[in-house]
């Protein structure tokens, strides 16, 4: 093993004494002499990027622990001190239910306060959108959300937000990364005692009123008027998947008149071990199975489940055969889009220049729904921060009310400008009232979805990932993307009508290695290397007269694109 790694390991055994869990893990590694585990824990520093940190919890430079969190917090503190005057130096912090999330949040606050920056901390775990809201509400220079979103329990993360409530920009993240790189993990961090700094007022708890105001903003997104009929006594099953959603989702729903809600008991309490859903992601059936069983027992027609940091929501509804069926993020997004547009027009609330924002890999059928209602669509790069940036642009132009909805295929939705990240509290309320509104007309969400397909054509979206491991694989992936930039007249037998190469920095967006092909017949294909894994992702969107026809067309496109792989 490299001497540098062994030296780092020895130094950690000597210096990492503040967390007994780390001491026990380091001793166990030394006793087992497991070179593979030691190498993986120390061969690099945990990477900081636009999404902050994310990694396995444990000892080492490549792990999430109090030392890597403190070092990152020191880098962020130095960035804030350089860019903001003293009166603007404050950072809001929140955390989810994951293992050590509360510990990491306290460490971050103790570092910020020791650096002369006021740290605002939620007194209990709160969702990501509540953090985004607090940053703007309190006028902070930055925000930190301790979460690993929907990853398995062994992970945790540290997401950094700018003063606008959006996830940090690439330029700012680059500056923070440079500062982190100059900080010694044990000797370069300023950190005080949390309780002492709290007593001195250098760390402050975020007032309950901020949370109450957030709930008020969520409720203000309702599309119903007193004259609208809605069956709010409908039976609904909800699961927070052992995360942060329980309190805010139930409060928003109950204060909006929804009281017939059954919570999945086994997934009600916050628990970072996620015992009943090892992969707490509402996109996958395994995480939703328990909720589906509850829905069958309660004869409920709607199941909601929010991920651990409550920024994404998945749903299940009764299909034509009466079975509980999971909807995709695209399907739920289209239902919400159509509902919001139709209700705004019916209630004379459609603003001038109404705009929706979605990512380039999100279903193209949404563009046609928006066009039907006279609404402009803006397509952005993958990541909700780019949707947040578009909201900020509209706000800077004095047209914040023009933004009416934003969504991405990965189950993230937002209908208001009060936060700058996806919000599952907002989405849960809108889904429930949409469900109740159609229920009062004798229409189920599955039926409504089929009516959209009947009007716009059945649309199927798929995402396939192709792995390219190691340096050689990375080179192959780059070569494939380059080959896709050549002149390609057709794919899957469909003419290429237009090609967008985001590597050129289109529409004022940052340059990104993403290519989108617009094909004849309202079909498209997007190629995008993953930003977090050695994978090339291919997104295929097919519009056809039936599900069977869409399956066949998807297979043809997939087979054709694999020629390049």
Alpha-carbon distance values, 337 to 128, 219, 546 (Å)? 23, 17, 22
Residues 347 and 200 in one domain: no
Residues 436 and 478 in one domain: no
> 3-class SS at 156?
strand
28 in a structural domain: no
397 in a structural domain: yes
13 in a structural domain: no
Residues 325 and 463 in one domain: no
Q: What is the pLDDT of residues 304-341, one digit of tens each?
A: 999 999 999 999 999 999 999 999 999 999 999 999 99
Q: What is the pLDDT of residues 500-532, one digit of tens each?
A: 999 988 888 888 999 999 999 999 999 999 866
9 in a structural domain: no
29 in a structural domain: no
Residues 198 and 337 in one domain: no
Q: Which residues are catalytic, by number?
A: 149
Radius of gyration over every alpha carbon of the chain, rounded to an integer in angstroms: 24
Q: What is the pLDDT of residues 83-103, one digit of tens each?
A: 999 999 999 999 999 999 999
11 in a structural domain: no
Pick the last residue of a domain from 186, 206, 226.
206
Residues 406 and 527 in one domain: no
Looking at residue 250, what is its pLDDT? 98
- What does the mean pLDDT of the chain come to? 95
Give me the percent of the chain exceeding a pLDDT of 70: 99
Give me the percent of the chain exceeding a pLDDT of 90: 89
Looking at residue 1, what is its pLDDT? 65
Residues 172 and 230 in one domain: no
Q: What residue numbers bound the domain in which 280 lies? A: 216-455
Average pLDDT over residues 521-549: 89
Pick the last residue of a domain from 425, 455, 485.
455
Instruction: Identify the band that residue 264 occupies on the pLDDT scale cut at 50, 70 and 90.
Output: very high
Put simply, whether the predicted model's pTM sits higher than 0.85 gets the answer yes
Q: How many CA atoms lie within 13 A of 84 on its CB side?
A: 21
35 in a structural domain: no
Q: Which two tokens stand for residue 343?
A: 């209700």
Residues 220 and 365 in one domain: yes
Whether residue 106 is predicted with pLDDT greater than 70 in this model: the reply is yes
Residues 328 and 202 in one domain: no
Give the burial class of 206: count Cβ atoms within 10 A of its Cβ; 0-12 exposed, 13-18 middle, 19 or more buried. Answer: buried
CB 152 within 8 A of CB 278: yes
3-state DSSP of 1-28 = CCHHHHHHHHHHHHHCCCCHHHHHHHHH
Residues 77 and 184 in one domain: yes
Instruction: Identify the band that residue 534 occupies on the pLDDT scale cut at 50, 70 and 90.
Output: confident
| Closest by Cα among 314, 312, 306, 402 to 357 | 402
Output the domain CATH number for residue 397.
3.40.120.10
Whether residue 47 is predicted with pLDDT greater than 90 in this model: the reply is no
Q: What is the pLDDT of residues 129-180, one digit of tens each?
A: 999 999 999 999 999 999 999 899 999 999 999 999 999 988 999 999 999 9
**Domain count across the chain:** 3
Output the domain CATH number for residue 474.
3.30.310.50
Residues 170 and 64 in one domain: yes
290 in a structural domain: yes
Residues 438 and 468 in one domain: no
Residues 233 and 152 in one domain: no
Pick the last residue of a domain from 181, 206, 231.
206
């Amino acid at each position: 093993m490299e001497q540098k790694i062994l030296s780092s390991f020895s130094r950690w055994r000597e210096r990492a004494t503040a967390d007994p869990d780390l001491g026990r893990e380091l001793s166990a590694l030394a006793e087992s002499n497991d070179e593979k585990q030691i190498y993986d824990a120390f061969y690099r520093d945990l990477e900081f990027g636009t999404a902050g940190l994310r990694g396995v919890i444990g000892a080492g430079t490549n792990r999430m622990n109090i030392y890597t969190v403190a070092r990152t917090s020191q880098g962020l503190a130095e960035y804030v001190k350089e860019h903001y005057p003293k009166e603007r130096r404050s950072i809001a912090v929140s955390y989810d239910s994951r293992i050590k999330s509360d510990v990491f949040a306290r460490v971050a606050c103790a570092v910020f306060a020791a650096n002369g920056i006021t740290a605002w901390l939620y007194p209990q775990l709160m969702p990501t959108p509540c953090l985004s809201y607090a940053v703007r509400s309190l006028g902070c220079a930055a925000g930190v959300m301790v979460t690993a979103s929907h990853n398995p329990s062994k992970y945790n993360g540290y997401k950094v937000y700018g003063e606008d409530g959006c996830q940090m920009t690439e330029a700012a993240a680059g500056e923070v990364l440079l500062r982190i790189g100059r900080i010694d993990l044990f000797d370069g961090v300023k950190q005080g005692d949390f309780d002492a700094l709290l007593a001195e007022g250098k760390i402050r708890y975020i007032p309950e009123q901020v949370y109450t105001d957030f709930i008020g903003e969520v409720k203000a997104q309702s599309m119903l008027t007193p004259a609208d009929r809605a069956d709010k006594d409908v039976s609904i099953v909800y699961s927070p998947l052992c995360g942060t959603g329980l309190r805010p989702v139930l409060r928003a729903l109950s204060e909006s008149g929804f009281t017939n809600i059954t919570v999945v008991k086994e997934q009600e309490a916050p628990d970072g071990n996620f015992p009943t859903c090892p992969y707490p992601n509402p996109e996958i059936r395994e995480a939703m199975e328990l909720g589906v069983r509850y829905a069958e027992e309660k004869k409920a027609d709607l199941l909601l489940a929010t991920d651990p940091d409550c920024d994404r929501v998945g749903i299940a509804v009764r299909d034509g055969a009466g079975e509980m069926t999971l909807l995709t993020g695209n399907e739920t997004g289209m239902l919400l889009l159509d509902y919001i547009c139709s209700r705004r027009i019916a209630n004379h609330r459609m603003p001038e220049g109404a705009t929706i924002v979605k990512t380039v890999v999100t279903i193209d059928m949404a563009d046609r729904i928006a066009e039907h209602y006279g609404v402009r669509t803006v397509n952005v790069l993958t990541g909700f921060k780019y949707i947040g940036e578009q909201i900020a642009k509209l706000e800077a132009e004095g047209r914040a009310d023009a933004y009416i909805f934003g969504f991405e295929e990965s189950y993230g939705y937002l209908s208001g400008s009060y936060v700058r990240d996806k919000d599952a509290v907002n989405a849960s309320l809108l889904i429930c009232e949409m469900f109740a509104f159609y229920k009062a007309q004798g229409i189920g969400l599955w039926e409504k979805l089929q009516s959209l397909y009947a009007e716009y054509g059945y649309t199927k979206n798929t995402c396939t990932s192709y792995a390219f491991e190691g340096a050689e694989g990375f080179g192959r992936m780059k070569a494939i993307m380059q080959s896709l930039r050549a002149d390609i007249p057709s794919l899957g037998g469909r003419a290429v009508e237009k090609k967008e190469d985001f590597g050129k920095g289109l529409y004022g967006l940052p340059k990104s290695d993403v290519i989108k092909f617009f094909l004849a017949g309202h079909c498209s294909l997007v190629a995008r290397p993953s930003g977090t894994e050695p994978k090339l992702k291919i997104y295929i969107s097919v519009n056809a007269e039936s599900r069977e026809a869409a399956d066949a067309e998807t297979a043809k496109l997939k087979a054709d694109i694999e020629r390049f792989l």
